[in-house]
C-alpha cells in the first residue's frame, strides 16, 4: 500500500567483475611464467658459472695473477646479477596476505643484516604497517645498502613517518634531480660495480603492496625515498 503521489522504485547497480577477474588471472599467470623463466635461466647460468669459478680458484692456487683476480670479480658480479634478476621477478607479485608489521623492529632487523660499518640508524616512528615482512625487510636492506654504497661506512640513515606513509633518508651525496625517476628502473646504476637492480627491487616491492615511491632530497642533502598510500597504525 502506497500513498498517492509517493514514488516507489528500485535502483540496480551492475558491476562487471568478470573482466576484472580475467585481467587479474592473466596478470597472475604472466607473473608465474616470468618467475619460471627467470628460475630456469638462473639455474642454467649458475651451472657454468660455478664451473668457471671453481676452475679459477684452482688456477689461483697454482699461480695467482691480476687477470685471475679480475675474473673472480666478474664472476661475483654475474652471480649478483642473477640473484637480483630472480628477486626482481618474484617481488613484483602482488602481496595477498599482509601481516601487521612493526616498522622500527623490521628496519632494525634489516640494518643488522647489512654491513653498515660505522653507520648510524635513527628511527623516528613506532608505526605498524600491513605488509609482507619478508619483502619489506628486503626493501629496507636494499635502501641501507644503497645508502652505504653512496654515503660511505659512516652514513646516517633515518626512517620516519609521513602523512600517508613512511620515508627512508640518508645524509649521503644525494641523487641529482634529473636522475631520480631513473634510479628505480631496472638496470640503472650510478656505480661501475652495481647491478642496477637494487632500487628497482625496492620499487617492485612497493608496487606489490600497492604503494607509490618517490625519490627526493633529504634535509641534509642526501637521498630520501618516500612511500605513500601506506596504511599506518
Q: What is the dihedral of CA 195, 199, 204, 205, to 10 degrees?
A: 120
**How buried is 62 (Cβ within 10 angstroms: 0-12 exposed, 13-18 middle, 19+ buried)?**
exposed
Over range 165-192, report the average pLDDT: 82
Q: Which helix (H) or strand (E) holds 43?
A: helix 17-62
122 and 191 share one domain = yes
Distance CA 98, CA 87 (A): 19
Residue 120 inside a domain? The answer is yes
105 and 204 share one domain = yes
Q: Which residue has the higher pLDDT, 195 or 137?
A: 137
Number of domains in the chain: 2
Backbone angles phi, psi at 223, to 5 degrees: -90, 145
Residue 8 inside a domain? The answer is no
Q: Which residue has the higher pLDDT, 151 or 90?
A: 151
Residue 145 inside a domain? The answer is yes
Contact 175, 226 (CB under 8 A): no
Range of the domain at 162: 99-228
Distance CA 44, CA 107 (A): 34
Question: Which CATH number covers residue 30?
Answer: 1.10.287.130
pLDDT tens digits, one per residue of 27-84: 667 667 666 766 666 667 777 888 888 888 888 888 878 888 888 888 887 777 777 6
Residue 183, CA atoms < 13 Å, CB-side half-sphere: 22
Nearest to 21 by CA among 29, 31, 33: 29
Whether pLDDT at 212 is above 90: yes
57 and 124 share one domain = no
82 and 122 share one domain = no
110 and 221 share one domain = yes
pLDDT tens digits, one per residue of 117-158: 999 999 999 999 999 898 899 899 999 999 999 999 999 999
Contact 161, 125 (CB under 8 A): yes
60 and 116 share one domain = no
107 and 209 share one domain = yes
Of 8-22, 66-80, 170-184, which range is least confident?
8-22
Predicted local confidence at residue 103, as pLDDT: 96
DSSP secondary structure of 105-146: HHHHHHHHTS--TT-EEEEE---EEEE-HHHHHHHHHHHHHH
**3-state class of 38 per DSSP?**
helix
Question: Which CATH number covers residue 129?
Answer: 3.30.565.10
Amino acid at each position: 500500500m502506497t500513498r498517492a503521489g509517493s514514488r516507489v522504485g528500485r535502483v540496480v547497480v551492475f558491476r562487471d567483475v568478470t573482466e576484472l577477474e580475467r585481467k587479474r588471472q592473466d596478470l597472475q599467470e604472466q607473473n608465474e611464467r616470468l618467475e619460471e623463466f627467470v628460475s630456469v635461466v638462473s639455474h642454467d647460468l649458475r651451472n657454468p658459472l660455478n664451473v668457471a669459478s671453481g676452475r679459477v680458484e684452482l688456477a689461483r692456487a697454482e699461480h695467482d695473477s691480476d687477470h685471475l683476480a679480475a675474473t673472480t670479480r666478474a664472476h661475483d658480479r654475474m652471480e649478483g646479477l642473477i640473484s637480483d634478476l630472480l628477486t626482481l621477478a618474484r617481488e613484483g607479485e602482488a602481496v595477498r596476505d599482509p601481516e601487521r608489521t612493526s616498522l622500527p623492529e623490521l628496519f632494525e632487523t634489516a640494518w643488522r643484516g647489512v654491513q653498515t660499518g660505522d653507520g648510524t640508524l635513527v628511527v623516528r616512528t613506532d608505526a605498524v604497517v600491513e605488509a609482507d615482512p619478508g619483502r619489506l625487510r628486503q626493501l629496507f636492506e636494499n635502501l641501507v645498502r644503497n645508502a652505504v654504497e653512496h654515503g660511505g661506512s659512516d652514513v646516517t640513515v633515518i626512517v620516519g613517518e609521513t602523512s600517508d606513509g613512511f620515508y627512508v633518508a640518508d645524509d649521503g651525496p644525494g641523487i641529482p634531480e634529473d636522475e631520480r625517476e631513473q634510479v628505480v628502473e631496472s638496470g640503472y646504476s650510478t656505480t661501475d660495480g652495481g647491478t642496477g637492480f637494487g632500487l628497482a627491487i625496492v620499487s617492485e616491492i612497493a608496487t606489490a603492496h600497492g604503494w607509490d615511491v618517490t625519490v627526493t632530497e633529504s634535509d641534509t642533502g642526501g637521498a630520501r625515498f618516500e612511500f605513500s598510500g601506506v596504511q599506518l597504525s
